């Protein structure tokens, strides 16, 4: 093979050198690089999984926030409705109380008016009875002459008028 220009011992030594070089490259360079690439791949996968979990948690949190917001709106609406109902009830109670008090006042006023009317009628009756007695006494004491009778009635009426104006 020397005629072709191939040196067998040099070729074998080059094969051995290449094998040793390949072995050294595999042990010191290829395996650490592959290990580093595997670690990097695992790290990327883990980061992607964490990102996916974070995305799911974010979606869950968003749903929870929306749900809490809806519950808060419902609760606020209930509170507003309760306040409106309470306001209506208080208003109705106030109206009923005012109506009851007004009816009581009207009833008391009516009874006061009736009592004062009864008192006035009783007073007028007493005064009329007194006038009638006075007139009867004067009629009995004087003669039954028509002129005297007319004068007597006028005197009694004048006396009654002066007594009532003096009483005022």
Give residue 165's pLDDT band: very low, low, confident or very high (50, 70, 90): low
Q: Which two tokens stand for residue 87?
A: 């306001």
Measured distance CA(121)–CA(115) in Å, rounded: 10
Let me know if residue 36 belongs to a domain.
Answer: yes
Let me know if residue 2 belongs to a domain.
Answer: no
Domain extent for 64: 8-167
Let me know if residue 38 belongs to a domain.
Answer: yes
Let me know if residue 62 belongs to a domain.
Answer: yes
Let me know if residue 157 belongs to a domain.
Answer: yes
Q: What's the predicted TM-score (pTM) here?
A: 0.41
Q: Which two tokens stand for residue 47?
A: 């980061």
Summarize the confidence of residues 32-60 as an average pLDDT: 94
Amino acid 163: pLDDT: 65
- Tell me the pLDDT tens digit for each residue of 81-106: 999 999 999 999 999 999 999 999 99
Calculate what percentage of the chain has a pLDDT beyond 90.
58
Let me know if residue 3 belongs to a domain.
Answer: no
Summarize the confidence of residues 21-48 as an average pLDDT: 92
Measured distance CA(70)–CA(61) in Å, rounded: 14
- DSSP secondary structure string for all residues of 73-89: HHHHHHHHHHHHHHHHH
- Degrees to nearest 5, angle at CA 100 with 99 and 101: 90
User: Which class for 153: exposed (0-12), middle (13-18), buried (19 or more C-beta within 10 A)?
Assistant: middle
């Amino acid at each position: 093979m020397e005629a072709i220009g191939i040196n067998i011992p040099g070729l074998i030594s080059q094969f051995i050198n290449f094998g040793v070089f390949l072995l050294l490259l595999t042990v010191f360079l290829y395996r650490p690089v592959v290990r580093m690439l595997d670690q990097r791949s695992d790290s990327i996968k883990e980061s992607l999984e964490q990102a996916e979990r974070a995305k799911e948690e974010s979606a869950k949190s968003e749903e929870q926030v929306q749900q809490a917001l809806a519950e808060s709106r419902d609760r606020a609406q209930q509170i507003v409705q309760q306040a409106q109902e309470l306001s209506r009830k208080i208003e109705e109670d106030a109206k009923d109380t005012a109506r009851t008090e007004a009816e009581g006042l009207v009833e008391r006023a009516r009874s006061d008016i009736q009592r004062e009317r009864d008192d006035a009628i009783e007073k007028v009756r007493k005064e009329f009875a007194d006038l009638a007695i006075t007139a009867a006494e004067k009629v009995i004491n004087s003669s039954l002459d028509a002129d005297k009778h007319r004068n007597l009635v006028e005197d009694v009426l004048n006396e009654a008028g002066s007594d009532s104006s003096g009483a005022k």
